[in-house]
Chain A
Amino acid sequence: MAGCKPQVVPVAAGKKIKVSIDPITRIEGHLKAEVEIKDGVVVDARIHGGMYRGFEQILIGRDPRDATQITQRICGVCPTAHATASALALDDAFKVKLTPNGRIARNLILGANFLQSHILHFYHLAALDYVNGPDVAPFVPRYAKNDVRVSKDINDVAVGQYLEALEIRKILHEMVALLGGKMPHVQGIVVGGTTEIPTREALNAYAERFKKVKKFIMEKYVPIVYLLAGPYGDLLKTGGGYQNCVAWGVFPMDDAGNTLHKRGVFTEGKDYPVDTDLIKEYVKYSYFEDSTTGLNPAQGRTIPNPYKKAAYSFIKAPRYNEKPHQAGPLARMWVTNPELSKTGQEKLGIKRMRDMGDAAFSILGRHVARAEETAMVANAVEQWLSEAKPGKETFIPAEIPDSSEGLGLTEAPRGALLHYIDIKDKKIANYQVTSATIWNANPMDDMGQRGPMEQALIGVPVPDTANPVNVGRLIRSFDP
C-alpha cells in the first residue's frame, strides 16, 4: 500500500504493515522509502536510490581539468563541494601547492555555499515537516494529519522566516558568485587555486552581504531550531541509527592543511585517525555488476546493471573498516566536538557538541548539529575575510602530468566527500566519487548490514500509517 492517503487504516496489534513513500520530496535527487511498521514503530526499512547518470563513466578519457566543471553537476545544491574535492584531487595529482590567498578564496567560496545549503535545507526542505506553509500550492496538498504541533504564532514566525531565508540564501549565492563567477556551478575553483584574484571592492561587497547573513543565522536560524525542541522534544530521542561517523575535515585554516573541522572517524564509541584504505564500496544490493563489489575507490569501478535481481538502489554501499558510518554536520560536529553557540549552551545547559550524548544522534539532533555548524562556519568566514589579501595571486598554473594519481578529501554541506583521479597519457583513466548521500542513503551491504539511513529508521514511531510523517522527517534530517 502507498500509505499516504488520509483514511484511517485499522491496524491489528503485532501485525506488520508495509508503507512505501515514493518519491521522497524536498531532497536533492530521487529516493524512495519502504518501511515495515509493527505496533506503531518502524521494524524494517529500505532506501531506494532511483536515479543513475554515470558521471564516473562519462569522465573517463577526458582532460583531467574538466573534472572540476563536470563533477559540480552531480549536485546543484553543493556544486562548490564537488569543485573543491575535484580540485584537491587534481592539486594532488598535478603536485601543485596553493598560495595562501588561493586557499582563503576557496574557503570563502565553499563557506558561503555551506551557509546557503544549510539555510536552504532547514527552511525550504525540512521546515514543512514541522510547520504549515500557506494554504496554496506548492504548500498544499500535504498529509491530512501532518503532526504539526506549533502554535499559530510560532507557525507565522516560521513562515515569515521561510520567506526571509529565500532572500538570505540568494545573498549567499551572490557572495559565492563574487569570487566564483556564478552560482550554481562556479567557474572559479580550478586546479591550482581560484581564477579570480579578489579585489578590495569584491571583498567589501562580500563582507557587506555577510553581515546580514550572520545576523539572520544568529538571531533567527539557530534560535528557531532550539524552539522546535519544545513541541518536538520526542524527536531528540529517536532516529539515531549507527553512532558511527566519518568526517574528512574541511576548510584548511593554514598552509600546513589544518582544517576547521577535524578529520576523523568515530566507530562504536572510539575515535580513530582516517585511513582511506579502509573504505570499501559494496554493491550486492545495488544496480552494479557484482564483480565490482568490495573495492576501494582507488580501484573502484562503476558498471551499471539496472536489471540485477537482488538490487534495489543505484547507490553503492560504502563501508569504513567494514562498518556503516553516517556523514554530515552531525558526524563532523561529533568528530570535531567544538563549543556550541551561546544560544546552544544556554538552551541545552551544556558546553560542547558531545555533551549532548545520545540525543545528538536523533532526528532533531541532526538539525541542532547543522544549525550549530552554520554558526561555527559563519565565525570562520569572518576570519577568512580578515586574512584575504586584495590583489594577491590566487592561482598557480600547472602542467597536466603524463600519469599520476590524486585524492581529494573534503566535506560537502551534507557530509564527507571523496574524489579520486587516475591520470594516464594526460587523460582521465579512472575517476571515483564517494559522496555524502552515498554514505548515508546506501542500501544493505554484502555482509547484511543496513545503510545508515535505513538503520536510523528502525524504531522511529509511525503511529498512523496513513500519515507516516516521521519517516520523511528522519530522512530529511540527513539532508540527502
Chain B
Amino acid sequence: MKKNEMLPYGQQTKTGVSRRTFLKTVTGTIAGIGVSQMFNPALVSALEKALETHPVLWVQGQGCSGCSVSLLNNVDPSIADILLKVISLQYHPTVMAAEGETALENLYRVAEKYKGKFSLVVEGAIPMAANGKYCNFGELNNKEITMVDVVKDLGVKAGSVLAVGTCAAYGGIPAAAGSETGATGVMNFFQTYGIKTPVVNIPGCPSHPDWIVGSIVHLLTKGLPELDSDGRPTIFFGNNIHDNCPNLKDYDAGVMAGKLSDAKGCRMDLGCKGPDTYADCYKRKWNSGLNWCVDNSVCIGCVEPGFPDASSPFYEPA
C-alpha cells in the first residue's frame, strides 16, 4: 500500500471491490444476514494489506466490556479469524497478553508509528468531571493517565475513530440522569477539545458484532460509511424498527400483547420503543440470528442518543 493511496485521514481509496457490490453485501436483503458475504477473495486480500498498515487500538473507558464480549459473538468470519487475519488488534485491555507499562508503551508506540492511519476504537464513556479522575487508564512513565488523556492523545493521531456502543457514542448509562462523572461520548468530547478526526458511531447496548466488524471493514476498505445525523452508518441504522417489525401487521390489525410473556401481538402497550428506534435488529437479530429483544420482550431503544433517559421507563408506553 503506497502512501499516495491514502486519504488525509488514512482511509484507502482502492480495494478492487465496487462500492455498490460492497454495500449490497453489507446491508443484505434477507433477514439475519451476517457480514460473511463481505469476505470474498478480493476483499480478503484488501484486508490483508490493511492489516499491515491500519492497526486497530481498542481502548475502554466507563463501560462494562459488553461490546467487546458482543464482538466475540461474531459468526462469520469467526472471532478467531478476525483476531488472526482481519484486524491487527494492537491494544485491547480484555484480550491482549500485555499488562502494565508494557501495554501502554506499545499503545503509544503504535499510535505514533501509524499516525493518521490507525483506527481508534473507543468503548465506554469518557468522564470529563474531576479532571478525568473517574476513569484511570494506566501508568506511563511512572505517571497515572486518565481516559480523558488517552482519548485526547490518541484521538488526534488516529485516522478514524469508532465509538463502539452507546456509552462511547453518546454517553449512555454512565451519562444518565443522576450521574456525577461528566460522562460523554467521543463526538462531544472531540468538539470540546477541537479534535477533527472523523468519528463513526456504532451504538447499541451492546453494539451488534456485525455492526462493529462491518464498520471496521468498511473503514479499512472503502473509507467512511454514509452516516445519519447521529453519526451512525445508515447501512445498519437507517430504518425504523417499528415500521419494519414482524409484528407490524398485528399493530395495524389492533392486536396488542397484554403481558410480557404473550407470544403474539404488537408490544407497544408493554413499553416497546421500536417506533422511536432506528436499527436493523428486526432482520439481523442477535446471537447468530436466533432471537431479538422484541420477540422476547420489548425494545428499550438502546441505540438512540437519548438512551436510557429518553426510553425510560422501559415498560411503559412512550
Contacts and interface: CB of A to CB of B under 8 A. Distances in A.
15 contacts: A23-B100, A23-B104, A25-B98, A28-B64, A28-B65, A51-B135, A58-B177, A59-B178, A137-B89, A138-B83, A139-B96, A166-B72, A174-B288, A193-B261, A394-B261
Given A23-B138, A397-B259, A54 B174 contact: yes
B261 A196 contact: yes
Nearest to A54: B179
B259 A51 contact: no
Q: Which 6 A-B pairs have the closest CB atoms?
A: A76-B66, A181-B296, A50-B136, A63-B313, A182-B286, A177-B287
Interface in A101-124: 120, 124
Interface string A16-58: 0000111111111110100000000000000010111111011
A22 B100 contact: yes
Contacts of B197: none
Contacts of A174: 287-288, 290
Interface string A321-342: 0000000000000000000000
Given A76-B67, A180-B296, A395-B259, A26 B78 contact: no
B260 A141 contact: no
A250 to B, nearest CB: 21
Interface in B66-83: 66-70, 72-73, 75, 78-80, 83
Interface string B273-301: 00000000000001110111101111010
A282 B296 CA distance: 40
Given A51-B136, A54-B179, A3 B290 contact: no
Query: Interface size class for chain B?
Result: 35 or more
Given A125-B94, A133-B97, A137-B90, A69 B286 contact: no
A197 interface: yes
B62 A51 contact: yes
A140 interface: yes
Nearest to B261: A395
Contacts of B139: 2, 20, 22, 32
B101 interface: yes
B206 A70 contact: no
Interface string A159-190: 00001001101100110111011111111101
Contacts of B96: 25-26, 137-139
A195 B312 contact: no
Contacts of A53: 62, 125, 134, 173-174, 179, 181, 183
A195 B103 contact: no
B290 A178 contact: yes
Interface in A170-228: 170, 173-174, 176-178, 180-188, 190, 192-197, 205
Interface of A: 1-5, 20-30, 32, 48, 50-55, 57-63, 65-66, 69-70, 73-77, 79, 120, 124-125, 128, 133-134, 136-143, 163, 166-167, 169-170, 173-174, 176-178, 180-188, 190, 192-197, 205, 287, 304, 306-307, 314, 393-395, 397, 472
A69 to B, nearest CB: 6
A52 B181 contact: yes
> For chain B, what secondary structure do more than half of its interface residues adopt (helix, strand, loop), or is it mixed?
loop
Pick the most buried of A4, A21, A53, A192: most chain B CB atoms within 10 A of its CB.
Answer: A53
Nearest to B183: A53
B315 interface: yes
Given A2-B100, A60-B178, A63-B313, A195 B291 contact: no
A182 B291 contact: yes
Nearest to A2: B101
Nearest to A475: B99
A74 B73 contact: no
Given A4-B99, A173-B73, A177-B290, A185 B66 contact: yes
Nearest to B58: A138
Interface in B39-75: 55, 60-70, 72-73, 75
Given A2-B100, A4-B99, A65-B315, 4 more contacts: A23-B104, A58-B177, A69-B314, A76-B67
B137 to A, nearest CB: 7
A234 B316 CA distance: 57
A166 B287 contact: no
Nearest to A129: B97
A396 to B, nearest CB: 9
